[in-house]
Amino acid sequence: MAGSDLIPTPPAELRERLAGTRGLLIDLDGVLMLRGEAIPGAVDAMDRLEQSRLPYRILTNTSLVSRRTLSLQAAILGFRIEPDHIVSALSATAAHTRRAFAGRPIYVLAAPDARREFAGQWLVSHAEADSPGMAVDAVVVGDSPEELTYANVNRAFRFIRDGAAFIAVHRNPWWSTVGGPTIDAGLFVVGLEYSSGTIATVLGKPSSGIFAEAASQVAAGLPAADAAAGSPAAGVAAGPAAGSPASDPTAGLVMVGDDLVMDVAGGIAAGLRTVLVLTGRSSPEDVARAARGEPPASGAPIVPIAIAPSIAGVVDALAG
Ligand SMILES: [Mg+2]
């Protein structure tokens, strides 16, 4: 870490390091909620962030359900987060298949509610998948426990073997539920990679696809003066100024997450500044180890610009 190695970063230093922030990308699990409950101070912090008018998107690998349902679930905990302020691994994947496979058949393993994100796309049913000669252009592995059955995973395997593109919403190994540590879709993604000999294209964190989708949405909402900087109408013949949102959607954006690999390493690779919060997966010991390149890092050091006790600390530093 630059400067002090104190964990968490002292408030005054946190404020300094966050100077110039133009928008936030905020992880959901471990930052706003954990095991079905709101993290203390998070509801109030999000209300204050909304009042501050700093643009933000919730950026989450949580993909069991659609963004609309995520928004409703968050509302039960007291959060007021509009569905269009959420970018999930699922919605980023659906945006990708909408662009890449328009009008083409795809086989999606996701629960009915999650499949809403693919509205307007040609989704092949399990029964259709079994009809002779059926082929699809892509297979999407989501994270629905009900859909990841032996029969469905085998259908996916056969399509991939026959040449379908292999797309995974994410490859999380496990997550925390009320019942304890719980296997996640990564188990099935890695198994399908092994059996099919094909490596999946992953849209969720830590892949850059989801960060790019969220960053471009936030940049699009920044004040007109910034957006116009690169437009021909503004008469800027030389193009956008370096570091402006028009030239680089990640300029001035900060990713706030609880996972050193998914949020911090993933965010850095996508060109973002990152802040780690200590309300989820990562302990101060993990932070120290990752800074030395030790697990959870895998060789290369992982170093966020700052470490905050919680999302409330981040919002205090920005809006306080
Ligand atoms: Mg998280």
Sign of the C-alpha dihedral computed for residues 89, 310, 223 and 226 taken in this order? negative
Burial classification of residue 36, based on how many CB atoms lie within 10 Å of its CB (0-12 exposed, 13-18 middle, 19 or more buried): exposed
Residue 211's nearest CA partner among 298, 88, 71 is 88
Residue 241 has pLDDT above 80, yes or no: no
Ligand 1 center to residue 201 CA distance, Å?
Answer: 21
Beta strands at 122-123 and 138-141: parallel, antiparallel or unpaired: unpaired
Q: What is the mean pLDDT of residues 308-320?
A: 94
Q: How far is the CA of 25 from the centre of ligand 1 (A)?
A: 12
Q: pLDDT tens digits for 167-217?
A: 999 999 988 888 999 999 999 999 999 999 999 999 999 999 999 999 999
Q: Residue 247 and residue 241: Cα distance in Å, rounded?
A: 7
Q: Which of 308, 188, 292, 178 minimizes the C-alpha distance to 255?
A: 308
Is the CB of residue 293 less than 8 Å from the CB of residue 26?
Answer: no
* CA diameter of the chain: 66
Closest CA to 275 of 27, 61, 48, 53: 27
Distance CA(57)–CA(229), nearest Å, equals 23
Average model confidence (pLDDT) across the chain? 91
Q: Compute the distance between CA of residue 160 and CA of residue 250 in angstroms, rounded to an integer.
A: 34
pLDDT at 224 over 60: no
Q: Based on C-alpha coordinates, what's the Rg of the chain?
A: 20
Q: What phi, psi does 112 have (nearest 5°)?
A: -50, -45
Query: For 195, phi and psi rounded to 5 degrees?
Result: -70, -35
Lookup: tokens for 194: 């092994």
Ligand 1 mean position, distance from CA 298 (Å): 19
The pLDDT of residue 155 is: 98
25 vs 35, residue with greater confidence: 25
CA atoms within 13 A on the CB side of 123: 19
Residue 223 pLDDT > 50? yes
Q: How far apart are the first and last CA of the chain?
A: 24
Question: Phi and psi (nearest 5°) for 251?
Answer: -60, 125
Is pLDDT at 225 greater than 80 in this prediction?
A: no
Q: Tell me: the pLDDT tens digits for 42-82?
A: 999 999 999 999 999 999 998 899 999 999 999 999 999 99
More confident residue, 258 or 248: 258
> Beta strands 273-277 and 306-308: pairing type?
parallel
Q: How far is the CA of 302 from the centre of ligand 1 (A)?
A: 16
pLDDT at residue 292 is higher than 70: yes
Considering the chain, what percentage of its residues have pLDDT values greater than 70?
A: 91
C-alpha 190 to ligand 1 mean position (Å): 21
pLDDT digits (tens, 9 = 90+) for 264-291: 999 999 999 999 999 999 999 999 999 9
- How many angstroms separate the CA atoms of 250 and 214, rounded? 9
CA 31 to ligand 1 center in whole angstroms: 6
Among the listed residues 302, 298, 297, the one whose alpha carbon sits nearest the alpha carbon of residue 274:
302
Ligand 1 mean position to 260 CA, how many Å?
9
The predicted pLDDT at position 231 comes to: 38
d(CA 110, CA 156): 12
pLDDT at 165: 98
> Distance from the CA of 147 to the center of ligand 1, in angstroms?
23
